[in-house]
Amino acid sequence: MKKINILLLTFYYPPDLGPAPLRAHSMVGALLKQSSGDVNIDVITTTPNRYTSMAVEDDVNDFREKVQIKRIRLPSHNGGMIDQSKAFAFFAWQVLKTVRNSEYDIVVASSSRLMTAFLASLIARQKGSSLYLDIRDLFTDTIGDILHPKIGIFLHPILGFLEQVTFRSADKINVVSPGFVNHVKKVAPGAKISVYTNGVDTVFHTVKNKKRAD
């Protein structure tokens, strides 16, 4: 049976903190569980960078059976929008260099601010791979709340175009909220859409049940 090569792009991955890395880690587990044959998964991510106080001294790369985690060490940044843009540009450039000589059957991306998904679409198109997108936020909807209105008005058409190109190139799109479905359908009418939410940690079920008992 032919080995299936999968590329998973995610800007955040454990031991980084927050729901994004945990979701990406769960996706790797699901891919391994659902793969019936021989599979190889390349995870390309960053070293923990969400919090400037968090530093990791471990090896950049982590090679395990069927899963290779390749971490890109970003230049130091303070977390502002400009710094984050520079950090992602560096990440994207390093990703393209890393995958240059690799072939993939499937490209998967977990993305909130669109650009990781757009990068995945470029790679999938270049490699002739199937593309699966996990969309955690609708950046074109939220950009107006993040940027100055004048900047937002300028960037919105550009981001809207990138979103359209990205979504329409995907073989399957998952969203984390049913409220995202209509937006995706408007951008990519022919898209195959699924909804897998982040869910609720079991600890909250315990708290809720305890309150009922009281």
For 97-119, how does the pLDDT look when each residue is reduced to its tens digit (9 = 90+)? 999 999 999 999 999 889 999 99
Q: Which residues pair with 133 in a beta bridge?
A: 109, 173
Question: 34 falls in which pLDDT band (50, 70, 90)?
Answer: confident
Mean pLDDT of the chain: 84
Q: Please tell me the predicted confidence (pLDDT) of residue 214.
A: 47
Question: 63 falls in which pLDDT band (50, 70, 90)?
Answer: low
The residue assigned the tokens 């569980």 is 33
Residue 201 has pLDDT above 70, yes or no: no
Q: Which residues pair with 42 in a beta bridge?
A: 7, 68
Q: Give per-residue pLDDT as tens, 18-28.
A: 889 999 999 99
Task: Give me the phi and psi of 18, to 5 degrees please.
Answer: 110, 170
Other beta carbons within 10 angstroms of residue 207's beta carbon come to: 11
Interval 143-157 mean pLDDT: 69
- Global pTM value: 0.84
Q: Give per-residue pLDDT as tens, 162-188.
A: 999 999 999 999 999 999 999 999 999
Interval 83-87 mean pLDDT: 86
Closest CA to 28 of 108, 124, 136, 103: 108
